[in-house]
Amino acid sequence: MRGHLIVDVPLIAAAVSLAPVYGLAPLAWITLAATGIHTWGVVNPRSSLYMPVWWRLPKGSDGVALTFDDGPHPERTPAVLDLLAKHGQKATFFLIGENVRRHPALVRRIVDEGHAVGLHSDTHSWWFNCWPPPKLRRDLERCAASISDATGRAAPTLFRPPVGLKNPMVGFVTGRLGLRTVTWSCRALDTGSATVEQVTTRLANGLKPRAILGMHDGAEPDKPRPGTLCVDALARLLPILRERGLTSRALCATQRGIDVG
Ligand SMILES: [Zn+2]
**What's the chain's length in residues?**
261
Identify whether residues 8 and 121 lie together within a single domain.
Answer: no
d(CA 157, CA 144) in angstroms, rounded, equals: 9
Identify whether residues 34 and 59 lie together within a single domain.
Answer: no
CA of 4 to the centre of ligand 1 (A): 26
- Domain holding 87: CATH number? 3.20.20.370
- 66-92 confidence digits (pLDDT tens): 999 999 999 999 999 999 999 999 999
Annotation says 216 is catalytic: yes
CA of 14 to the centre of ligand 1 (A): 38
Instruction: Please report whether residue 15 resides in a domain.
Output: yes
Instruction: Please report whether residue 48 resides in a domain.
Output: no
Annotation says 259 is catalytic: no
Each residue of 61-97: b (16+ CB within 10 Å) or e? bebbbbbbbbbbbeebbbbbbebbeebebbbbbbbbb
Instruction: Please report whether residue 121 resides in a domain.
Output: yes
Catalytic hit among 73, 103, 120, 216? 216
Domain enclosing residue 106, as ranges: 53-260
Identify whether residues 143 and 78 lie together within a single domain.
Answer: yes
The pLDDT of residue 188 is: 94
Identify whether residues 115 and 153 lie together within a single domain.
Answer: yes
- 154-186 confidence digits (pLDDT tens): 999 999 999 888 899 999 999 999 999 999 999
CA of 236 to the centre of ligand 1 (A): 22
Identify whether residues 94 and 34 lie together within a single domain.
Answer: no
Tally of structural domains, the chain: 2
Q: Specify burial of residue 44 (Cβ count, 10 A radius: 0-12, 13-18, 19+).
A: middle
d(CA 3, CA 84) in angstroms, rounded, equals: 39
Query: What global pTM score does this model have?
Result: 0.90
Identify whether residues 166 and 227 lie together within a single domain.
Answer: yes
